Amino acid sequence: MEDFNQIEPEQISTSLEVETLDVNLFRSKRLWIPSGARGVFGGQVISQALVSATNCVDSQFALHVSLCGTPDPRHH
């Protein structure tokens, strides 16, 4: 049986890898499709987009807040 505590950090770091195709153009190296899902895991896609975005700007700029979600219609 695999020791998931040992492979998890490797899976996290490799799941965020993107390939540079051109200036400001990137492609995912790996996409995780959860068992029984209709598509890829959205959190991974968002994370890869953030990695790509930080690769497009000067290193003096950094992401300091990332808020993703659907507004709750009950709270205006």
List of long-range contacts for 48-57, beta carbons under 8 Å, 24+ apart: 48/16, 48/18, 51/16, 51/17, 51/18, 51/26, 52/18, 52/26, 55/18, 55/20, 55/26, 56/24
Over residues 16-67, the pLDDT tens digits come to 899 999 999 999 998 888 888 888 888 888 889 989 998 898 988 877 766 6
Residue 37 is assigned to a structural domain of this protein:
yes
Residue 50 belongs to some domain of the structure: yes
pLDDT of residue 40: 86
Answer whether residue 6 shows pLDDT above 60: no
Residue 40 lies in a domain: yes
Taking CA atoms, 43 is separated from 28, 46, 47, 71, in Å, by 13, 5, 6, 17
Domain presence at residue 74: no
**pTM listed for this prediction:** 0.66
42 or 76: which leads in pLDDT: 42
- pLDDT confidence of residue 10: 64
